[in-house]
């Protein structure tokens, strides 16, 4: 995404938040929370890979997650994984 496109999206979003009366503190906190969640989902919950992509130390990410009350259930995959073919055939008979 180009800087110009990003700025355009952000300007629209910020304008909407200001009109709704959202405080800077609320907006900043929710933005950071959603940004961290997106990174954690992108990296399948790996703190190390997520921290690297965010440009922070792993411990910093953990501290931010604690402060924002982010836990594994918040970034778990939403759709269950499909079972591999033949998995039922390998299970013991009951």
Is 55 inside any structural domain?
A: yes
Find the CATH number of the domain harbouring 71.
1.10.10
Q: Number of structural domains, the chain?
A: 1
d(CA 48, CA 43): 9
pLDDT for res 31? 96
Is 84 inside any structural domain?
A: no
Is 8 inside any structural domain?
A: no
Query: Mean pLDDT, 10 residues at a time, over the chain (94 residues)?
Result: 86 95 96 97 96 98 98 80 52 55
Is 85 inside any structural domain?
A: no
The residue range of the domain holding 60 is 23-76
> Residues 6 or more apart from 34 whose CB is under 8 A from it?
none
pTM for this entry: 0.74
Is 38 inside any structural domain?
A: yes
pLDDT for res 4? 80
């Amino acid at each position: 995404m180009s800087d110009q496109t990003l700025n355009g999206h952000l300007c629209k979003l910020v304008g909407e938040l200001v009109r709704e009366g959202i405080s800077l503190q609320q907006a900043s906190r929710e933005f950071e929370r959603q940004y961290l969640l997106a990174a954690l989902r992108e990296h399948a919950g790996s703190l190390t890979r997520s921290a690297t992509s965010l440009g922070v130390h792993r411990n910093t990410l953990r501290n931010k997650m604690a402060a924002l009350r982010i836990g594994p259930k918040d970034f778990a995959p939403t759709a269950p994984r499909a079972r591999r073919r033949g998995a039922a055939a390998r299970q013991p008979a009951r």
